[in-house]
Structure 1
């Protein structure tokens, strides 16, 4: 029976029946033909074209099997990468989306009999990170693109550097808070009892009472009453002070600690602004040093980006060539800061008696925000502030 003509009702009915997915057991991968029922598949297997394809397959079965397996793997992993990225997802969900395409490579034509075997193979080969749960197998694509790896490495370095900066600033703030708390503590007044002599009279108490006309017994009673009143007042004062300390609530202590921390931060901000003002007054830029942009005025993409000073304009403006992208910018030194390299690297001294001389960084003193460097002649400079030297660029 020949094929129906195009456009006829029978042809349209056949096309409607052929839409969508059919049973996998009635699909021939070699001929890429989908049959609708068992009878159709049987007729196809007896056809001459199918027999020719089987003869080709019999000549080199491994070649066709490897080809189908590679196509299936590439289609599955490309969908996983494009659709889900590196997220963890159920393996069967990805497979259901993959087989929506009618022209996909069927799994019965590959070297894997089940989806579980295929997922395990992906995990062994390192294409995905796989794990088994009660709900089934989950996969997460491993992106090995060189550009992606390079971009992730740059992000990790940037985050690490920002974290180090924040940690140094936090240590400085904590140190200032401790100093402020030590200064704010007042020495507690210690009250001692009145010492008396052998006759029972208090020592060191000079009371001017007009008791000349009073008898001796009356005078003694007046003095003893005054002493008792004085000692009772002192005991009352000490007791009230102790009670007030006991009555302090936790909320008051927290509020006091927050006030101390706020004052310490204000003190730190004033010190930093004063240091910046001092640095503005003098020119410290020198050629071939590595600096970092600390201002967002040039754009967020240049914020905290490092560059090399190629030239200096008017003593205070540097021509900076960025290390990441090679862009050249003119930046005022107020928007720049020095870069501290790792130990045993070359640095250039920017201020002081040895300005312009090269040295080797020996030790970084994080507690005092300074470093120890060694000049070429062997002289060692200890406690050199961070702003007085910077990393030397070596092409």
Structure 2
């Protein structure tokens, strides 16, 4: 059967099939030809060109093996250098990227039988740093390029020069400090004494300059003594402040690690409570009426018959209005939410949260905090089921 014509459907199909990687067992490394199936590979092995290549290889088989081995080693190391540099990488990752090239040299034509043998050979030859782990062999390329070595030596030389300059400047500064200390006279330490008077009638005076002197009952001495007393009082208050601050610092230092942890936990709890309060304020609305809750009528416009009486909300209209049914008489009234208020049941009863972060959730009343005008509830519905929360009086009401 003849060869397909150029750009014929069969020729185009053959080109499409020939693209990409094919099976390794149908590849002839000597002829560098890839066959698509077993029949094609068999025909190739029987061809005259393949027989000639085998005759050439049989004359000097080591020559061809060395050639393919050098090609494989050069391309493999070039891929590591360009793709990964001097990073540590798994050898199988590099090999998979290498064989993705269609025209690569196959390992079965080289002197290495497996990838592990090739990896060990790279380590023995000093071309790469290799190490074995439970996940396999890892390799790290050793860059022996003269330009790279020269650049590294130049950087090392610069670092050493910078260190020498820093040491030289530090030595010079130490020498200057030592000379300054040696040439300076020792300072006389000032001694502080208490102000004492030998007799009650004697006045205390201070000499603040060479011209000033101790005098009797004169205006200048009295003025100086007053200013000096003020200075002494200020210095004593400063000493007291410094002593109190040092005492407070010592108290702070005395705190143990456990106390610090407790303080941190308390601060975290305070921050969480503040965040919860902010979230509840953000989720609050100006309407709270809901069906099937018990409310108390607080308006006096309807007379004493309905004042302070309880009712059940049967229907909510326009968010702010509701139709309620009185519990005692059974009368139905239409009221505004300003005319009613929530009802707080006894502990253990069911309630509904009508406003805030947990709106529409049912809960059980656990306890009442009269000081903060709030109650502790345990949620029995919603995504926060089982959580204990503190809710204000006006944000929950008894469930009908």
Shorter-chain TM-score category?
Answer: 0.3 to 0.5
Q: Which one has the largest radius of gyration?
A: 2
TM-score normalized with structure 1 length: 0.47
Query: What TM-score results when the alignment is normalised by the length of structure 2?
Result: 0.46
